[in-house]
Structure 1
């Protein structure tokens, strides 16, 4: 038996390469979620050139993945965010300030590492967000 379980829940966009959407090790308390991109369930890039649309799609994808695991955003332990343009930093901060209170109504926001990188797997992608979540009982 493998020490890891790899998860590709139905209803999510297909992986954009040779990877799983999430993986967990025994005893299945932490789930490491692959970086989510602005991809719809049909595999098409959503919001080409539109940072806000990509932000919205990415967090919709994260929400769908969490739901498929029987979890919600309160299970997120950590985010890592990748931006491809430092000029999008203000837009990211504004969108996050609007979205996070809805995702985290107790205002217990998880840590986030924010990186600005040269590019992502496809040049159309403006940002990517990966997460670590817990399945441990509250």
Structure 2
């Protein structure tokens, strides 16, 4: 079993809002490319709706993690790319449905000028650590 350690606020660092400043563990590294709000057929989900897009993005992340034998419990870092910081609450709502909010992963949020398609509002990538023997 993979053991992850979380430090929400190291000495001398202000606590984060919904993320740990430091997370580490041992095992196999899983890197998940930035996921966008496309369904299985490549159709956009939630045009103009950050909540719908965020839910689809986290569903895509779940499926990608599962392909590597991982779950959200194994995620050590999430990086959020949003075209407007006003969409961050939608991302956090979707995130909080799938992670242990008492032991959140590390995180970064970046506002970008654009994503790969103009109708996309957000993208999220993940890093996870799993036990060596958890491949599907």
- Please, what TM-score do these two structures have when normalized by structure 1? 0.69
Q: Cα RMSD between the aligned structures?
A: 2.1
- Consecutive unaligned residues in structure 1, runs of 5 or more: 1-27
Structure 1: distance between partners of 2:99 and 2:115: 27
User: 1:112 — aligned with what?
Assistant: 107
In structure 1, C-alpha distance between the alignment counterparts of 2:89 and 2:65, rounded to whole Å: 27
Gaps of 5+ in 2: 1-26
Q: What is the CA–CA distance in structure 1 between the aligned matches of 2:112 and 2:58, rounded to whole Å?
A: 20
Q: How many correspondences in the alignment?
A: 107
> Higher relative contact order by CA 8 Å / sep ≥ 6: 1 or 2?
2
Q: TM-score, normalised by structure 2?
A: 0.70
Partner residue in 2 for 1:62: 61
Bigger shift: 105-114 or 42-51?
Answer: 105-114
**TM-fit CA distance, 1:39:** 0.6
Judged with a 3 Å threshold, the aligned counterparts in structure 2 of structure 1 residues 86 and 78 are, in CA distance, closer, same or farther, namely: same
Bigger shift: residues 128-137 or 54-63: 128-137
